Each structure stands twice: as structure tokens, then as C-alpha cells.
Amino acid sequence: MQYHPATDAPLHVDFMRLGSHARVTVMVPVVFTNPEMSPGIRRGGILNIVRHGIELNCPVDRIPDHLVVELNGLEIGDSLHISKVVMPEGCRPTITDRDFTIATIAASSAVREEAAAAATAAPAPEEPAAS
């Protein structure tokens, strides 16, 4: 679909005729759910989205509106890979040669400063006394 650059009015649309058993490659948006269930986000981590959409090869009658990615249990430093995403029946990612990253939970600057302050404030371990 092509839009007018200033008004965003549609200018041109291409349609394809497909058979009922055909497969298409489409970009499907990713929706992240349950951030409140992520200990890393609750402690101040930031969801760093690497891929807002994933290219899938799907049957024409089963194209999903979106892919749901759960954030349950993720800590700061954890990453979400495509292998953890439940694919709709008959759909598969077009990238098959690696387990690519979709998102990570990164430490915010406040969390990094807090960790650095805690590390410098920790007492040095005591050495055993010589007899």
C-alpha cells in the first residue's frame, strides 16, 4: 500500500489472488505481556525491544494479528529468544539458522549506580588470623 507523503491518504494498493492452501510471508507485530510479573522490570530494569515484528511464513487462512511474548520471571540481564515464543499452528519464522533475540531486560542507569554503590560500600572480607 502506498500513501501520500503529506496527507497520508491512500494512493495505491496491490492485491494478490491466492489459493486456499497457499502460504505467505508476512511481518507480524510482537506484543509483550505481564511486565508486572518480571522481577527485573519491577526492580527498575528496562525492556529493550530488539524486534517489534517477526517475519513469519504462514498459511493464508492462519495469519496471526500479533505474537504474544510473556515477560513472566525475567530478571535484569535476561533475554527473550524466538525459541521461547509459542507459534500459531502452521506458522514458522523465516529466520531458521539461529535462535534470534526479540527483547532483553537491561539495567537502567539508576540500577547500575545502585549496584556500584553497594559494591563499594561492602566491607572487605576478613583474613584469617595467623597463629
Residue 37 lies in a domain: yes
Residue 5 lies in a domain: no
User: Tens digit of pLDDT for each residue in 43-89?
Assistant: 999 999 999 999 999 999 999 999 999 999 999 999 999 999 999 99
Q: Quick one: cell of 52?
A: 517489534
Residue 79 lies in a domain: yes
* Structural domain count, the chain: 1
Domain CATH for 41:
2.170.120.20
Q: State the pLDDT confidence band at 1, using cuts at 50, 70 and 90.
A: confident
Q: How much is the pTM?
A: 0.69
Q: Which residue has the cell 493464508?
A: 60
Which of 58, 55, 46 minimizes the C-alpha distance to 21?
58
Question: Domain range for residue 17?
Answer: 10-109
- What DSSP state is assigned to residue 69? E
User: Tens digit of pLDDT for each residue in 90-114?
Assistant: 999 999 999 999 999 998 876 566 6
User: Tens digit of pLDDT for each residue in 7-56?
Assistant: 989 998 888 788 888 999 999 999 999 999 999 999 999 999 999 999 99
Cα separation of 3 and 15, whole Å? 15
Residue 77 lies in a domain: yes
